[in-house]
Amino acid sequence: MDLHRHLSLFVLLQLATVLAWAEPRVSIDQHQISLTDFRIGYHVDPSQELTFEEVRTLSFTETGNRTSLGTNARVTWFKLILDNTSDTGQRVFVHLPHAYHLKSVAIYQERNGELVHSDLLDMNRIADTDMMFRGTAVYPLFLPADQSTTLYLRSFSYSHQWLAIEVLGAYASRHTLVSINTDIALMVGMLLALVFYNGLLYFATSRKENIFYSLYLISGLVWIALSYGLIASVFDIYGDAIFKLNLSLFTMPIFLLLFMMAIFETKISYPTEHRFLQGLIVLLGGTLIWGVFDISAALKPASSLAALMMVVTLTVGISLYRKGHPLAKYFLLGHSLFVVFNGIAVLVYKGLVPPSYLSSHGVGIGIMLEALTLAFVISHRIKLLEDIRTSQEELKKQASTDPLTRLYNRRFFFPEANYLLELAKEKDIPLSIMILDIDHFKRVNDHYGHACGDQVIIKLAEILKEQSRASDLIARLGGEEFVILLPDTNLLETSQYAERIRIAAEDLEVIANVNKTVHVAISIGVAELDTEQESIESALARADKALYQAKNSGRNRVCRAEPPVRFGSDQLADHFTT
């Protein structure tokens, strides 16, 4: 019984030992090779000083060929065992599609326990190698028939350890290298279009939130183009020269916070929320300055800062929404999408979840969705401002117009008339005025009621609009009395114009009841201004005298005012002295 127990225990120990030392292997037994999903091993080197001879004796932890290990694994060794199980030698190409964001990659090729070849890809000395193509490191490898080849890759990352390995045949390798990152190019193109559109909005409105939004977009598109290899692919730039662009990871949230402060006017209306946003800007600004001197160190807490920013901005957004800000709900919608997708990306960068397209592109997707929502927020704000402006214009219009006839009122007429008088002086053109009222209007009100009288006034106002020019200033002075100022019109022309109005008024008909139609007539007084010496009030007084002359002469007629008395310079001085 004891022997059986010991034997069972021995078998279990042996099995555990076999399982512990079992390493993932990749079998290659075909000519058309395209291996994009397999298992590899990794070993984190916190000292950053392990040599190949030391590493090959250490144990490796299993992971996928697309892995993210966070910020504490800047130097990591990866182990890939390739078994050529075919009876012919195979030429393959090992692709590292995310090599553009590394500082360096060292590759060691081992066969039958011996190092057969090694290469170093230093991103700061890219001219010394032909392994880089459009952001992807390509390592050619020959696999002898029925033999195993082990690759050790020492990946030295600037901040986050994020690696992908693919094993491709010649055809698949060429096809992959000539393909274009359409999704990333589309993201960058859309952001550029938003930057251009928002720049036009700034020139139209001169509002600072448009500037902050544009800078946020620029920071976002720089980070997307950098992180997803578009800059490396297009410009073939790597290493320290380009890694500094990761500072956009700090400028992006700073400009977003400034945008929030501007569009929500937190400094004036929401001081508590304003202080929270200010504090976060100070923290991010300090990290940005740190990054200028040591970008790798500054990026270590970037994920934690991103999480803090999400919490603060969401909290502020919710607070503004609860306080009734009309734009807060739209901001919360877009920012919530940003938070969700960035939260997924943070988990990947910290190595807490395996990479996938959605998770590894989370920041880019989040930026795009929020950028589109913020564009809507800006447009909606413009609409709100236009509604307010329209409402104010309507109030101004109501204050300056007569509610019954929709003509200008006395309050508006005199300032505008004085402006036209100054214009006539400046251009040396004539300026005339006429005043008119309805003959026996009191009888209309007494016999047919004020409703009928109002209709007579409305119909006469319509005649004045129809007979006048766009440059004429028409106003209702009160009751049945109207005034018209005529720029670039002399006394004769004004008289002829007044006569046309009088004749049109004779044809005016207002139905008082079923059996009665009301006809009216008008009397008009006209005068031409002496623009050098006369005021609007003086000319209006002369025209009013001419109106009373028309009334006293039998009504339904036009009378001209006497010209004003002109003073010489000496007479004018004596006049004002006396």
Quote the pLDDT of residue 335: 87
Instruction: Report d(CA 571, CA 576) in Å as an integer.
Output: 9
Quote the pLDDT of residue 21: 43
Instruction: Say yes or no: 450 and 356 in one domain.
Output: no
Among 143, 165, 150, which residue's Cα sits nearest to residue 36? 165
Number of domains in the chain: 3
* CATH number (domain holding residue 430): 3.30.70.270
CA distances for 483 relative to 28, 413, 463, 520, angstroms: 99, 9, 13, 18
Instruction: Say yes or no: 345 and 271 in one domain.
Output: yes
Spell out, as residue ranges, where the chain has pLDDT lower than 70. 1-22, 31-32, 179-181, 349-351, 393-394, 397, 514, 566-578
For 440-491, how does the pLDDT look when each residue is reduced to its tens digit (9 = 90+)?
999 888 888 888 999 999 999 999 999 999 899 999 998 899 999 999 999 9
Instruction: Say yes or no: 355 and 497 in one domain.
Output: no
Instruction: Say yes or no: 305 and 439 in one domain.
Output: no
Question: What does the block give as tokens for 230?
Answer: 């578009």
Q: What are phi and psi of 161, to 5 degrees?
A: -85, 110
Quote the pLDDT of residue 31: 67
Instruction: Say yes or no: 208 and 320 in one domain.
Output: yes
Beginning with the edge strand found earlier in the chain, give each strand of the sheet holding 481-487 in spatial order.
408-409, 473-478, 481-487, 431-438, 522-528, 558-560
Long-range contact list for 57-65, CB < 8 A, 24+ apart?
60/23, 62/23, 62/24, 63/39, 64/37, 64/38, 64/39, 64/40, 64/354, 64/355, 65/36, 65/37, 65/38, 65/39, 65/40, 65/164, 65/165, 65/166
Q: Name the domain boundary from 394, 418, 453.
A: 394
Instruction: Please indicate, yes or no, if residue 402 is contained in any of the structural domains.
Output: no
Instruction: Say yes or no: 96 and 150 in one domain.
Output: yes
Instruction: Report d(CA 363, CA 369) in Å as an integer.
Output: 10
Instruction: Please indicate, yes or no, if residue 14 is contained in any of the structural domains.
Output: no
Q: Name the domain boundary from 178, 201, 223.
A: 178
Cβ atoms of 407 and 458 closer than 8 Å: no
Task: Convert 214-250 to b/e letters by CB count within 10 Å (16 or more is b).
Answer: bbbbbbbbbbbbbbbbbbbbeeebbbeebbebbbbbb
Among 401, 403, 478, which residue's Cα sits nearest to residue 435? 478
Quote the pLDDT of residue 393: 67
Instruction: Please indicate, yes or no, if residue 386 is contained in any of the structural domains.
Output: yes
Which residues are CB-neighbours of 130 under 8 A, at least 6 positions away?
none
Cβ atoms of 52 and 121 closer than 8 Å: no
Instruction: Say yes or no: 369 and 415 in one domain.
Output: no
Instruction: Say yes or no: 158 and 223 in one domain.
Output: no
Instruction: Please indicate, yes or no, if residue 453 is contained in any of the structural domains.
Output: yes
Look at the block and give the residue holding tokens 């000496």.
570
Instruction: Please indicate, yes or no, if residue 424 is contained in any of the structural domains.
Output: yes
- Number of residues assigned to the chain: 578
**What's the gap between Cα 348 and its chain centre?**
28
Dihedral angle over CA of 260, 265, 268, 273, nearest 10: -30
Instruction: Please indicate, yes or no, if residue 508 is contained in any of the structural domains.
Output: yes
Cβ atoms of 366 and 340 closer than 8 Å: yes
For 128-184, how does the pLDDT look when each residue is reduced to its tens digit (9 = 90+)?
788 888 888 999 999 998 899 999 999 999 888 888 999 998 888 888 887 666 778
* CATH number (domain holding residue 361): 1.20.1070
* CATH number (domain holding residue 62): 2.60.40.2380
Instruction: Please indicate, yes or no, if residue 189 is contained in any of the structural domains.
Output: yes
Question: What does the block give as tokens for 259?
Answer: 């945008």
Instruction: Say yes or no: 64 and 205 in one domain.
Output: no
Instruction: Say yes or no: 415 and 556 in one domain.
Output: yes
Q: Name the domain boundary from 157, 178, 199.
A: 178
- pTM equals 0.61
**Host domain of residue 50:** 24-178
Instruction: Say yes or no: 323 and 288 in one domain.
Output: yes
Helices 302-322 and 328-349 pack at an angle, to 10 degrees, of 160
Instruction: Please indicate, yes or no, if residue 18 is contained in any of the structural domains.
Output: no
Instruction: Say yes or no: 345 and 358 in one domain.
Output: yes
